[in-house]
Chain A
Amino acid sequence: MDIFLQQLANGLTIGSMFALIALGYTMVYGVMKLINFAHGDLVAASAFVGLFIFTNLFGSGTSIFIAIAVFLLTAVVIAICGVFLERVAYRPLRTAPRLSAVVSALGASMVIQNGIMLLWGPQLKIFPDLIPQVYWDLGGVVISLIQVLIMAFSLILMIALYIFIEKTKMGTAIRASSIDQDAARLMGINVNNIIVTIFVIGTSLGAVGGLFIGLYYKGITFNMGWQYGLNAFIAAIIGGIGNIPGAMLGGMLLGLFNAFIAGYVSSTWADAFTFTLLIVILIFRPTGILGERVAEKV
């Protein structure tokens, strides 16, 4: 039983990170019908930016204020990168065929990945212990402070996002733009602003996810964005791409699925099972678990 609970804790931790990153994919897709392949690399970049900010502005020392400052500054830097990315790589192609935008996204992904390599080098970088290493043993199940923080903050951010999307005027505008951009424009919604907002929120959440990866696993490499991006992307599809609660659910499910497959079946086959799950879900529910079946616009 304690093994089961331990795997549950492991799965929820990694699932929270997947969910945070998946939100970036799903929000951009919801409004722009575009898979932002560069998102995973922005996540990787955020880990490096966070490390840079920490070592250059704060040197050492681990207080809660420094941790908060690093998170905020990194989120701001990455959000600026996200807005810049949209302006340069996606906006000029908004009326172009959808494939052009996808190619542009793949290109942006390579530019960011190689940019990280040029700036910080190809070596493995080690993340400092920004958060103290504290462990609690709850009758055989060991949970660390960092795991609790990751789960708690991810949950808070996701609830805040949900309230923002469902209850505020801006959120209503975002939902309207995702249903029909032209109609939204006719109703006086500035769709360009909506898209910028989407990129700011999506990349900031991704930045938090990237910092969590750095804090939890400590070793960061310039090409790690691909691995996490792929998993988060699958999570977004499983939950129903374009659907915000779907991305949260998909991330958590994928994290748990990964942990249980690796823990009870074989870690060798974890990736194969992930893709099998994706295929099975797409066969039976092509729009994902929470995705709604929308009639194709003619």
Chain B
Amino acid sequence: MLRKKALFMSLLSFSLIAGTVNAEDVLKVGVQAPITGSYANEGQGIDNATRLMAEQINAKGGVLGQKIEVITCDDEGTAMKAAICAKDLVNKGVKMVIGSYTSTCAEAAQATYFRAGVLQTSDGTSDTLTEHGYWTFFRNSFPNSAEATFVAKYFLTEKKYQRIAILSDFSSYADGLATAVEKAVKNAGGNIVAREKIKAGSQNFTPILTRLKSKKPDVIFSAGYYSDGGLIRAQMKALGIKADFVGGDANDNPDFVKLAGTAAEGAYIINVPTPELLPYDLAKDFLKAYQTKYNMMPPSIWTLLNVDGMRAFVHAMETNKDLDTKKAADFLHTLKDFPGITGSISFAPDGNRVGSGYMAYQIQKDGSYKIMFK
């Protein structure tokens, strides 16, 4: 027994030494994002931006003298792969994880990061993400409930829609957003004529849209992702549905316009400001660097929100003069107005980002966005 204990102690001390030696080398930052699959261009955006930010931080001497090393794991946008990624990144010894893009993947990985004490920041907007009480999780975007309040206000006071239909898929994000919008609209006295669910990626939405047509909605709110939203918009036009199309924040992607084709014109999208509309100098500088390095714009605002999460983590470690993740989390839970690329960053004690800056855009004939309401 004693020998066993001694062995254990020596192993422990050995691993502690090994740990500190390692930690002095580099600060490992994990990226968990859908590099392949339906949401590939968003995932690649997050990966590209994290690497660029790491480069910029390293050029200034790193974090507390340590260079950042980025390790990417492709979760393919599926919960199963996300759980595997989480274990993999934890085993590789990352201190913080940026991602994932979808709420489903972020949620599937959360518990693993929490148990390992690894900080995680995701743009996932599903309200459930911050309801588990994990001190390791920080949302870098704004929750569905904030978007839902905005949507309800826009629908009822600005557009005065009488008959509202809501579509979503089964993912945590889309279903959460649709439920939140339904609740917010009902609370504000709006009339919901239909709430339907589609299977993401099933492509043929004409049967369900035909059914919606018979309910004569003024507006169809699509809470899913752009890969389905673009097709829904195109098939609505093909079926002669005159209702407005309003897409939730995950429709904000260049592929939406390509999928919808000519039908994209006139569609509305609700999201926080798009990258090129950000007024801050930090944003302008980062976008310029991104364009120089990758020769394109980031796919959407999600890329930048995730980078802001990473910046907040680094800021916390630098202010604490300590790489300890628990201390960083304690600092972040009371963080107020840290200047970010996407506006000032403040976190609530549950890891939610405080504030909301939603806008309604209308897609123009050339595919550009016009701000309609904010």
User: Is B238 engaged at the interface, CB distance under 8 Å to the other chain?
Assistant: yes
A19-47 near B? 1/0 per residue, CB < 8 Å: 00000000000000000000000000000
Bound complex: CA of A4 vs CA of B295, how far in Å? 50
Interface residues of A in 87-132 (CB under 8 A from B): 117, 121-124, 126, 129
Asked if residues A227 and B202 are in contact (CB atoms below 8 Å), the reply is yes
User: Is A193 engaged at the interface, CB distance under 8 Å to the other chain?
Assistant: no
Q: Which of B37, B170, B201, B259 contacts A126 (CB 8 A)?
A: B259
Interface residues of A in 257-283 (CB under 8 A from B): 258-264, 267-268, 270-271
User: Is B231 engaged at the interface, CB distance under 8 Å to the other chain?
Assistant: yes
Q: Which of B36, B203, B211, B255 contacts A3 (CB 8 A)?
A: B211
Asked if residues A219 and B240 are in contact (CB atoms below 8 Å), the reply is no
Residue of B nearest to A14 (CB): B204
Distance from B263 Cβ to chain A, minimum over Cβ atoms (Å): 8
Asked if residues A267 and B208 are in contact (CB atoms below 8 Å), the reply is yes
Asked if residues A142 and B259 are in contact (CB atoms below 8 Å), the reply is no
Asked if residues A217 and B231 are in contact (CB atoms below 8 Å), the reply is yes
B203-224 near A? 1/0 per residue, CB < 8 Å: 1111110110110000000000
Asked if residues B38 and A263 are in contact (CB atoms below 8 Å), the reply is no
Asked if residues A133 and B207 are in contact (CB atoms below 8 Å), the reply is no
User: Is A137 engaged at the interface, CB distance under 8 Å to the other chain?
Assistant: yes
Chain B neighbourhood of A84, CB < 8 A: none
Asked if residues B213 and A123 are in contact (CB atoms below 8 Å), the reply is no
User: Is B19 engaged at the interface, CB distance under 8 Å to the other chain?
Assistant: no
B167-205 near A? 1/0 per residue, CB < 8 Å: 000100000000000000000000000001111011111
Chain A neighbourhood of B38, CB < 8 A: 124, 221
Residue of B nearest to A9 (CB): B206
Asked if residues B230 and A3 are in contact (CB atoms below 8 Å), the reply is no
SS of B interface (majority): helix
Bound complex: CA of A87 vs CA of B206, how far in Å? 40
A120-153 near B? 1/0 per residue, CB < 8 Å: 0111101001000101010000101000000000
Chain A neighbourhood of B203, CB < 8 A: 213, 217, 219, 224
Asked if residues A6 and B197 are in contact (CB atoms below 8 Å), the reply is no
Q: Which of B41, B207, B240 contacts A263 (CB 8 A)?
A: B207
Bound complex: CA of A9 vs CA of B255, how far in Å? 28
Bound complex: CA of A158 vs CA of B45, how far in Å? 46
Bound complex: CA of A268 vs CA of B259, how far in Å? 23
Most B-side CB within 10 Å, residue of A133, A135, A219, A259: A219
Q: Which of B199, B230, B255 contacts A267 (CB 8 A)?
A: B199
Bound complex: CA of A137 vs CA of B242, how far in Å? 12
User: Is B71 engaged at the interface, CB distance under 8 Å to the other chain?
Assistant: no
Asked if residues B259 and A267 are in contact (CB atoms below 8 Å), the reply is no
Asked if residues B258 and A135 are in contact (CB atoms below 8 Å), the reply is no
SS of A interface (majority): helix
Asked if residues A264 and B211 are in contact (CB atoms below 8 Å), the reply is yes
Bound complex: CA of A148 vs CA of B325, how far in Å? 61
Distance from B145 Cβ to chain A, minimum over Cβ atoms (Å): 24
Distance from A60 Cβ to chain B, minimum over Cβ atoms (Å): 14
Q: Which of B35, B204, B214, B262 contacts A133 (CB 8 A)?
A: B262
Q: Which of B40, B201, B208, B237 contacts A122 (CB 8 A)?
A: B40
Bound complex: CA of A121 vs CA of B37, how far in Å? 9
Asked if residues A6 and B239 are in contact (CB atoms below 8 Å), the reply is yes
Asked if residues B240 and A3 are in contact (CB atoms below 8 Å), the reply is no
Asked if residues A219 and B231 are in contact (CB atoms below 8 Å), the reply is yes
Bound complex: CA of A262 vs CA of B197, how far in Å? 10
Chain B neighbourhood of A16, CB < 8 A: none
Asked if residues A122 and B258 are in contact (CB atoms below 8 Å), the reply is no
Chain A neighbourhood of B205, CB < 8 A: 267
User: Is A154 engaged at the interface, CB distance under 8 Å to the other chain?
Assistant: no
B271-315 near A? 1/0 per residue, CB < 8 Å: 000000000000000000000000000000000000000000000
Asked if residues A122 and B204 are in contact (CB atoms below 8 Å), the reply is no
User: Is B234 engaged at the interface, CB distance under 8 Å to the other chain?
Assistant: yes
User: Is A218 engaged at the interface, CB distance under 8 Å to the other chain?
Assistant: yes
A189-218 near B? 1/0 per residue, CB < 8 Å: 000000000000000000000000100011
Chain B neighbourhood of A122, CB < 8 A: 35-37, 40
What would 7 more interface pairs be, CB under 8 Å, given A126-B258, A263-B208?
A3-B210, A144-B238, A219-B259, A259-B206, A262-B211, A264-B211, A267-B196
Closest 5 A/B residue pairs (Cβ): A262-B207, A122-B36, A142-B240, A263-B207, A10-B206
